[in-house]
């Protein structure tokens, strides 16, 4: 039997983190948390996509730190793991690659929904 979500689109999001510590916590515990405005976008994508991939980058680092698959919708439960009080609920992420990749290795990727700007 085919999965009911198999014919739905795959969506990708760049997740910018203020610090490397939050990404390390995420990689260890398989969780992530973001701002309430991002929660609406991610929950919508999780419900209307076959898969949601999150590509992580520390703000100002010039690198990606890896990517993960969104493993659950975002609930109301908050985590004390994050140093930022502005974050919303926690959700599950399944890390696929934990590797530092310089932005220049991805300069051939452009975002057609953002004036074909480079993905970084």
Q: Please determine, for residue 115, whether its predicted confidence score (pLDDT) is greater than 90.
A: no
Categorize the per-residue pLDDT at 108 as very low, low, confident or very high, splitting at 50, 70 and 90. low
- The answer to whether residue 3 is domain-embedded is no
- The answer to whether residue 2 is domain-embedded is no
Q: Please determine, for residue 11, whether its predicted confidence score (pLDDT) is greater than 80.
A: yes
- The answer to whether residue 89 is domain-embedded is yes
Q: Please determine, for residue 119, whether its predicted confidence score (pLDDT) is greater than 70.
A: no
Pick the residue with more confidence: 3 or 69?
69
Q: Please determine, for residue 85, whether its predicted confidence score (pLDDT) is greater than 80.
A: no
Domain count, the chain: 1
Q: What is the mean pLDDT of residues 39-54?
A: 94
- The answer to whether residue 4 is domain-embedded is no
- The answer to whether residue 45 is domain-embedded is yes
- The answer to whether residue 5 is domain-embedded is no
pLDDT at position 77, please?
Answer: 85
- The answer to whether residue 84 is domain-embedded is yes
The CATH number of the domain where 104 resides is what?
Answer: 3.10.590.10
Q: Name the 3-class secondary structure at 35.
A: coil
pTM of this prediction? 0.83
64: containing domain: 10-118
The β-bridge relationship of strands 66-70 and 101-102 is unpaired
Q: What is the mean pLDDT of residues 78-107?
A: 82
Q: Please determine, for residue 97, whether its predicted confidence score (pLDDT) is greater than 70.
A: yes
- The answer to whether residue 68 is domain-embedded is yes
């Amino acid at each position: 039997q085919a999965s009911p979500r198999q014919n739905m689109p795959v969506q990708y999001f760049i997740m910018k983190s203020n610090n490397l510590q939050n990404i390390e916590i995420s990689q260890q515990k398989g969780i992530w948390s973001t701002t309430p405005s991002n929660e609406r976008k991610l929950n919508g994508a999780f419900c209307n996509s076959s898969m949601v991939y999150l590509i992580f980058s520390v703000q100002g680092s010039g690198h990606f730190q890896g990517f993960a698959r969104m493993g659950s919708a975002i609930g109301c439960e908050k985590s004390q793991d994050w140093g930022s009080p502005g974050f919303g609920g926690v959700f599950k992420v399944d890390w696929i690659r934990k590797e530092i990749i310089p932005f220049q290795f991805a300069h051939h990727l452009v975002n057609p929904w953002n004036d074909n700007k480079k993905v970084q």
